[in-house]
Structure 1
Amino acid sequence: MPDGQTPRQLARAANIERIKELALRQLASEGATSLSLRAIARELNLVSSAIYRYYPSRDELITALILDAYADLADALEAAGGTRRSPRRRWADTCDGLRAWAVAQPHRFALVYGSAIPGYAAPADTIAPAARVVRALAAPVVDGAPAPRPGLPRPLRRQLDAVTAELDLPLEQAGTLRLVGAFARLVGLLTLELNGHFVGGFEPADALYAALVEDEADALGL
C-alpha cells in the first residue's frame, strides 16, 4: 500500500484530487466567481453536506487551487531556467516558460494573477508559494547583477527592502525595482493576450512577447 496509507486515506486523497479536477473544469468554463461546492458534489454523486468534509468552504477550495497553481508554475519556471546558460538566455527561457504555462492553462493563470474574486481574501499561506514563482523568474536577474539606480524616494526604498527580504533575494533596491516592473509588464501583456485584447492586432502575440522579454533583459542589464 503506497506510503503505508489505509484504504480510507487513499479514498480520501482520490476524492480530493477529483474535487480539484472538477473545480478546475468549473474555473475553465465559468470562472472562479461561479465556483460551487454543491455543483461539484452533484457530479461526484455526493450529498451536498458530504463535500464539506473535504473543504469546509468555497474559499478553502479556492486556496487549495491557488497553492497548486503557484507550485506548478514555479516548477515550470525553475525547469525552464535551470540549465547552465548566460543570464540573458536563462531569462528568455524562463519568460517563455511563463507564457507557455499561461497559454496552456489560462483559467489557472487568471486564478492567481487575474481580478480579485468577490468575497475571497487569500490567506497568508499563499504568500510563500507566490514568492517562489518570483524567485524563479529572478534567478537570472540575480546572476546578471543590475546596476544601481540612485534617487529613489524613501517610502519606495522601505517597500523595496521589505519585498527583497520577503523574497529572500540577494538584490539591491534597483534590482528589485526592475524585477517587479518586468514581472508586472509580462503579466500585464499575458493578461491582455489571454483576454483577447490583441485580436485583430498582435495575433498571434509570440513576436510581441519575445520583443518585450528582450526589452526587459536590456532594462535588467542582462
Structure 2
Amino acid sequence: MSSSRTARERVRAELTREITDIARGQLATEGATGLSLRAVAREMGMVSSAIYRYFPSRDDLLTALIIDGYNALGEAVEQADAAVPREDHTGRWLAVCHAVRDWALAHPHEYALLYGSPVPGYKAPVDTVAAAVRDTVVYGRIVSDAHGAGVLNPPGGLPAPPASFGDDAARVRAVIPEVPDDVVSRALLAWTGLFGWVSFEIFGQFNNAVLDPATAFEHTMRCHAAVLGLPV
C-alpha cells in the first residue's frame, strides 16, 4: 500500500511539473492574463476536467508559478551571496545584484509575472510571502552584517529620513535587523534602485539609450553601494 501511494505521488508530482512547465510557456506567448487551464489541458492531451484535480482554478496555477519564480530567484541570490567571503560586504552586494539581473535576463517572462503589471482580478495569497522575501532576506543580512562590522560610511550631505519613516523602518527591520532608520532608508534606496534598473532593462526602457547595459549596470550598482555606505 505504501509503495502504491508513493507511485501515485510520483506521478502527481510529474504531472504537476509538466503543467507548470507548459504554463510557463504560455506566459511567454500569452502573458499572465492569457493563462488558461483549458489551453494547458489541450496541450497535455488531457480533458479539461482532469487538470482541475491539480489546480482548481487559474489563480491556483498563477500562485504556483509565482512561488516557483520567487524561489528560483531566491535560490540564485542565496548561491551568489554564499560564494563571496562574508567580510566582503561590497562583493556580496554586487554578486546579489548580478544574480538578480542574470536571472531576470534568463527568465524575462517569469520576472514580468513577479514584478510587472498586476494580473487583473488576481490577489496573491499569503502562501507567496515566504518565497517572495528569500532574496530580500539575503540583502538584509548583507546590510546588517556591514553595519555590525562598522564598515558603512555613507557620503556626507544625505538628508535624514523624515520622522514619519520611523514606523516603516520598524517594519523593514524584520529583514534588516539591528540597523538605525537612516541605514534602512539607504538600503531601500539601493534595493529599489536594483529592481528599477532590472525592470527598465527587461521591459525595454533602455532601448536605443543604454547601449552597454552590463557595464552601466555594474557602475550603477557600485554607486548604490556607495550611497548605502559600502566601501567601493
Is TM more than 0.5 here? yes
Change in Cα spacing, 1:198 to 1:5, as seen in structure 2 (3 Å) is: same
- Runs of 5+ in structure 1 lacking a partner? none
Give the drift of 1:155. Answer: 3.0
Which residue type is aligned with residue 197 of structure 2?
Answer: L
| Counterpart Cα distance in 2 of 1:38 and 1:153 | 51
Q: Deviations over 1:16-39 (max 9, x none)?
A: 000000010011222111111000
Give the drift of 1:151. Answer: 4.7
| Counterpart Cα distance in 1 of 2:8 and 2:213 | 48
What is the total number of aligned residue pairs between the two structures? 219
Report the 3-state secondary structure (helix = DSSP H, G, I; strand = E; otherwise coil) of the residue aligned with 1:115: coil
Q: Report what 1:160 is aligned to.
A: 169
Q: Report what 1:61 is aligned to.
A: 61
Change in Cα spacing, 1:98 to 1:111, as seen in structure 2 (3 Å) is: same
Q: Report what 1:126 is aligned to.
A: 128
| Counterpart Cα distance in 1 of 2:130 and 2:180 | 21
| Counterpart Cα distance in 1 of 2:104 and 2:125 | 23
| Counterpart Cα distance in 2 of 1:153 and 1:201 | 35
Given that 2:141 and 2:176 are in contact with CA atoms closer than 8 Å, whether structure 1 keeps it comes out as: no
Q: Which moved more, 1:140-149 or 1:115-124?
A: 140-149
Q: Report what 2:229 is aligned to.
A: 221
Given that 1:147 and 1:175 are in contact with CA atoms closer than 8 Å, whether structure 2 keeps it comes out as: no
Give the drift of 1:153. Answer: 3.0
| Counterpart Cα distance in 2 of 1:73 and 1:201 | 27
| Counterpart Cα distance in 2 of 1:128 and 1:163 | 15
Give the drift of 1:128. Answer: 2.2
Quick check: 1:175 aligned with 2:183?
yes
Q: Deviations over 1:149-199 (max 9, x none)?
A: 88533432101101222x263332222222222121111111111112212
Give the drift of 1:147. Answer: 6.0
Which residue type is aligned with residue 46 of structure 2?
Answer: L
| Counterpart Cα distance in 1 of 2:183 and 2:160 | 14
| Counterpart Cα distance in 1 of 2:181 and 2:5 | 48
Given that 2:41 and 2:51 are in contact with CA atoms closer than 8 Å, whether structure 1 keeps it comes out as: yes
Quick check: 1:197 aligned with 2:199?
no
Given that 2:176 and 2:184 are in contact with CA atoms closer than 8 Å, whether structure 1 keeps it comes out as: no
Q: CA RMSD in A?
A: 2.0
Which residue type is aligned with residue 87 of structure 1?
Answer: H
Quick check: 1:209 aligned with 2:217?
yes
Q: Report what 1:38 is aligned to.
A: 38
Given that 2:77 and 2:96 are in contact with CA atoms closer than 8 Å, whether structure 1 keeps it comes out as: yes
Q: Report what 1:81 is aligned to.
A: 81
Query: TM-score by structure 1 length?
Result: 0.91
- Runs of 5+ in structure 2 lacking a partner? none
Given that 1:90 and 1:140 are in contact with CA atoms closer than 8 Å, whether structure 2 keeps it comes out as: yes
Q: Percent identity?
A: 39
Report the 3-state secondary structure (helix = DSSP H, G, I; strand = E; otherwise coil) of the residue aligned with 2:133: helix
Q: Which moved more, 1:57-66 or 1:153-162?
A: 153-162
Give the drift of 1:5. Answer: 5.2
Q: Report what 2:9 is aligned to.
A: 9
| Counterpart Cα distance in 2 of 1:43 and 1:160 | 48
Which residue type is aligned with residue 96 of structure 1?
Answer: H
| Counterpart Cα distance in 1 of 2:121 and 2:35 | 12
